[in-house]
Amino acid sequence: MSFADTAPAPARDDGVIAVHGLTKTFGPVRAVDDLTFEVRPGRVTGFLGPNGAGKTTTLRALLGLVRPTAGTATIGGRRYTEIPRPQRVVGAALEAASFHPGRTARDHLRVYAPQVGVDDARCDEVLGLVGLADVAGRRVGGYSLGMRQRLGLATTLLGDPRVLVLDEPANGLDPEGIRWLRDLLRFLAGEGRTVLVSSHVLSEVQQTVDDVVIIARGRLVHASSLAGLAALERTGTRLRSPDPDGLDRVTGRWGAAVRRLAPGAVEVDGVEPAEAGRAAFDAGLELHELASLSVGLEEIFLRLTAPPADEPAGVRS
Ligand SMILES: Nc1ncnc2c1ncn2[C@@H]1O[C@H](COP(=O)(O)OP(=O)(O)OP(=O)(O)O)[C@@H](O)[C@H]1O
């Protein structure tokens, strides 16, 4: 037997989140079903799925808050509960944090600081990082939702963690707040941190994420770079004409991109309806149908996560 066979698995400190065969049932409900994926450092990863897909349950399992029925969820090769001083490794915000309304933002952080093992100077540092330095002395009770989200993030950043796990952080933010969040998350990933952000709306995180992990009904339906998901996008047009020969002449220019459905009916890949309509118009061709077959990113997301045709939306066991 070689040394490699007998050596214990090295404790990795690479900030990789690894979910392997994760399953969690609540009575008859399979909230997470044999889920496997990895999240890499230095990138922002969107953890996406419709309401009830199992995102929060997965994140709770990752943070040691629920016990998996089967499988593992680890950070740097270790379960959360096995990580010494986990707040120095993982910053997590699972639901909208509640703050004592009478406390200032600075005091809120100073209450947490000893638990995390950082000093007051670090509190001011993270308040600056999230843009709250000027209002750090104001009572949180008077904060807007966006300011509370920033304070929530400041709390997760307190221990300078190399892994960030944020559940729906864009919830309740206005467009300016979303832009701010995007810049901050990209900055943090740029420093080499692992950033996992859940959302049930692709468009909310589309401009933020490098990678996507998409789940539905507790199962993985897609994992790739954002570019990999975008590669599934397509444009196309269906044309129908009472003049099949004329239609063939007009669409012949698009060669192999043309699929003939029937005499006088074709679909053309990679050509927008405007271009196809213009070509028909220029040729004096009568059209009875000019329909878009284009599928955008949001539509792809909806198709990937749609319930099977025989299952009404929202019903699952
Ligand atoms: N503690 C629990 N007891 C019973 N069922 C639960 C529990 N937690 C989650 N579930 C169920 O598990 C499924 C997945 O829920 P989960 O909250 O993980 O989904 P989600 O993707 O985070 O949804 P949302 O975007 O709405 O937060 C749902 O059907 C939910 O009702």
pLDDT in tens, 10-34: 455 689 999 999 999 999 999 999 9
Contact 53 CB / ligand 1 (< 6 Å):
yes
Over range 266-273, report the average pLDDT: 92
- pTM for this model (two decimals): 0.82
Q: Give the residue, by CA position, lying nearest to ligand 1 atom 17.
A: 56
Q: 36 alpha carbon to ligand 1 midpoint, in Å?
A: 18
> For residue 315, is pLDDT > 70?
no
Q: 31 alpha carbon to ligand 1 midpoint, in Å?
A: 6
Instruction: Report how far residue 289's alpha carbon sits from residue 233's, in angstroms, rounded to the nearest whole number.
Output: 23
Task: State pLDDT tens for residues 98-135.
Answer: 788 889 999 999 998 998 899 999 999 999 999 999 99
> 56, 58, 168: which to mutate for ligand 1, most atoms within 8 A of CB?
56
Task: State pLDDT tens for residues 138-170.
Answer: 999 988 888 888 899 999 999 999 999 999 888
* Amino acid occupying residue 38: E
Q: 60 alpha carbon to ligand 1 midpoint, in Å?
A: 10
Q: How is the chain split into domains, by residue range?
A: 17-223, 236-294
Grouping H, G, I as helix, E, B as strand and the rest as coil, residue 23 is: strand
Contact 57 CB / ligand 1 (< 6 Å):
yes
Over range 167-181, report the average pLDDT: 85
Residue 297 — very low, low, confident or very high, per pLDDT cuts 50/70/90?
confident
> Which of 1.10.540, 3.40.50, 3.30.230, 3.30.70 would CATH assign to domain 236-294?
3.30.70
> For residue 305, is pLDDT > 80?
yes
Q: Give the residue, by CA position, lying nearest to ligand 1 atom 11.
A: 31
* DSSP one-letter string for 262-285: ETTEEEEET--HHHHHHHHHHTT-
Higher pLDDT: 89 or 170? It is 89
The predicted pLDDT at position 312 comes to 53
Tell me whether domains 17-223 and 236-294 share a fold.
Answer: no
The predicted pLDDT at position 314 comes to 46
The predicted pLDDT at position 146 comes to 84
Q: Which residues contact 12 (CB under 8 A, 6 or more apart)?
A: 76, 77, 78
According to CATH, the topology of domain 17-223 is Rossmann fold (3.40.50)
The predicted pLDDT at position 294 comes to 83
Using CB atoms within 10 Å of the CB of residue 224, give its burial: 0 to 12 exposed, 13 to 18 middle, 19+ buried.
Answer: middle
Contact 56 CB / ligand 1 (< 6 Å):
yes
Task: State pLDDT tens for residues 215-267.
Answer: 999 999 999 999 999 988 888 999 999 999 999 999 999 988 899 999 999 99
> 25, 26, 47, 219: which to mutate for ligand 1, most atoms within 8 A of CB?
26
C-alpha count within 13 angstroms, C-beta hemisphere, residue 256: 0
The predicted pLDDT at position 1 comes to 39
Contact 50 CB / ligand 1 (< 6 Å):
no
Residue 3 — very low, low, confident or very high, per pLDDT cuts 50/70/90?
very low
Quote the tokens at residue 273.
């309806």
Query: What is the average pLDDT value for the chain, to the nearest integer?
Result: 89
> For residue 302, is pLDDT > 70?
yes
Q: Name the packing angle between helices 273-282 and 244-251 (round to 10°).
A: 120
Q: Give the residue, by CA position, lying nearest to ligand 1 atom 18.
A: 54
> For residue 195, is pLDDT > 80?
yes
Lowest mean pLDDT among 48-57, 189-198, 308-317: 308-317
> For residue 317, is pLDDT > 60?
no
Q: What atom in ligand 1 is closest to the CA of residue 58?
A: 18
The predicted pLDDT at position 5 comes to 45
Contact 219 CB / ligand 1 (< 6 Å):
no
Q: Give the residue, by CA position, lying nearest to ligand 1 atom 13.
A: 31
Contact 49 CB / ligand 1 (< 6 Å):
yes
Over range 273-285, report the average pLDDT: 95
Which of 31, 90, 56 minimizes the C-alpha distance to 167? 56
In which residue are the tokens 């066979």 written? Answer: 5
Q: What atom in ligand 1 is closest to the CA of residue 32?
A: 14
Q: 205 alpha carbon to ligand 1 midpoint, in Å?
A: 21
